Amino acid sequence: MSSMIKVAVVGCGDRACVYAKEGVFNLKRMQVVAAVDPDPVKRKQMHEIYGVPKEMCFETIDGLLAKGKIADCIINGTMDQMHLETSVPFLKQGYDMLLEKPLVNNEKDLYALMAVAEENGCKLMTCHVLRYAPFYKKVKELILNGDIGEVVNIQTSERVGAAHSSMSYLRGKWKSEKECGSSLLLAKCCHDIDLICWLNNSTRPTEVVSYGGRNYFIPEKAPKGAGTKCLVDCPKEVREKCVYDVQSMYLDNCVLPWYPWQCTGKHYEDVTMEEKIESLKTYNPHGSCVYKAGGDIVDHQNVMMKFADGSTATHNVTLGVMAPGRSIWIVGTKGEIEGNIESGVLELKKYDKATSLHTVEKFTFHDTAGETGGHFGGDRGIVEDFCNIMDGKQPSISCTAIQDSIVGHVLTFKADESLKENKPVTF
């Protein structure tokens, strides 16, 4: 295969275009030759930004499928509940695929997807981009090198900031499991569960128990006197004290501008202030009171896992925190690894016989741009690895081939089963 990999993008939203941008403009190893999206604005952008011929910009996958196999691979960035139906036909045509996480939202479809990929000899990687962040790659290397001995316990946490919580999970596209098909753990934390399984992949999970709920972002917890739409019927004195007031969070300081204006039918940079205000007052779901937006996912969840070798792990996720971040602490038989990826500092700690205390070896990572800036280098890393694999090179230690990343997905499904049934789940 030539070094220039021909790609078709299916579902031209934020994530798929991030991968396309990395492959085309930064790595200069991809050429986008076709695009599929029901939104004419996105199809226009694919033509203007990536040079996709207008006749190769399709509204549905049927138009592209009718052309036969005209590219080397697919970047699939459709919504969670559409992954199976938009992946299987292309896999059957022999396309390799980079598929946005989560792969699918239930265990049955997960096995079906893997079977189709294997039957047709397709390379299928899921976008667990955090495996590729230098921070987490270093954690993996330290474990593989034996620096901490055998893994005894892994603790991870994800604290989702107020703005991100609001725009994605409280008012946004992933606010309702009934609508998008994914739980909070699957939509947000399949990254973290995957990291745990990948870092501890000398064994396999055997049991999981999970607790959590939706206890804060509910109508009963709304500020006294709050309305149903911030800019319509919520008193000024209430909004001034509310963290989630859309005036400050969306109009004055919109840190994730590509999320709340998608419903306007325009690229977010082209939406005027007047149009933003009008949308928030009328049809834009982001204009709703965050406590009354109709979401049904949990706003906090704890997961405890047991592995076949006796090691254990825990993960916590909480929405609406003031200081967002991901942290990790791994205890081994010979040492510990601890760090926070937002700070870019990772520490290897070992017992010091000379002092009966411990030594600390620090590793510093300069790419601390988080989910709004490349997933700490992971976005570029996964695209580069995918390109290398497409060119016949050896995959990296981070490789997210479905045969490996399936483990974290199954564990996530079982954790949610435990949460809903209020009991441990063995598998």
* pLDDT the model gives residue 369: 64
Domains of the chain: 5-126 (3.40.50.720), 131-217+298-373+399-426 (3.30.360.10), 225-287 (no CATH)
* pLDDT the model gives residue 374: 76
* pLDDT the model gives residue 392: 94
* pLDDT the model gives residue 1: 47
H helix or E strand, kind and range, residue 329: strand 325-332
Please choose, from the candidates 161, 154, 423, 164, the residue with its C-alpha nearest in 3D space to the C-alpha of residue 315.
154
* pLDDT the model gives residue 180: 86
For the chain, first and last CA: distance in Å?
41
* pLDDT the model gives residue 33: 98
Q: In tens digits, what is the pLDDT along the chain, a chain of 427 residues?
A: 457 999 999 999 989 999 999 999 999 999 999 999 999 999 999 999 999 999 999 999 999 999 999 999 999 999 999 999 999 999 999 999 999 999 999 999 999 999 999 999 999 999 999 999 999 999 999 999 999 999 999 999 999 999 999 999 999 999 999 888 899 999 999 999 999 999 999 999 999 999 999 999 999 999 999 999 999 999 999 999 999 999 999 999 999 898 999 899 888 999 999 999 999 999 999 999 999 999 999 999 999 999 999 999 999 999 999 999 999 999 999 999 999 999 999 999 999 999 999 999 999 998 656 555 578 899 999 999 999 999 999 999 999 999 999 999 999 999 999 999 999 999 8
Tell me the C-alpha distance between 219 and 212, whole Å. Answer: 18
* pLDDT the model gives residue 368: 59
Tell me the C-alpha distance between 205 and 186, whole Å. Answer: 17
- 102 prior amide bond cis, ω within 30: yes
Beta strands per DSSP E along 21-142: 30-36, 57-58, 73-76, 96-99, 124-126
Phi, psi of 142 (to 5 degrees): -65, -40
3-state secondary structure of 292: coil
Beta strands per DSSP E along 171-290: 205-213
pTM for this model (two decimals): 0.93
* pLDDT the model gives residue 231: 98
Tell me the C-alpha distance between 24 and 19, whole Å. Answer: 9
- Are the C-beta atoms of 361 and 190 separated by less than 8 Å? no
Angle at 309 between CA 307 and CA 315, to 5 degrees: 30
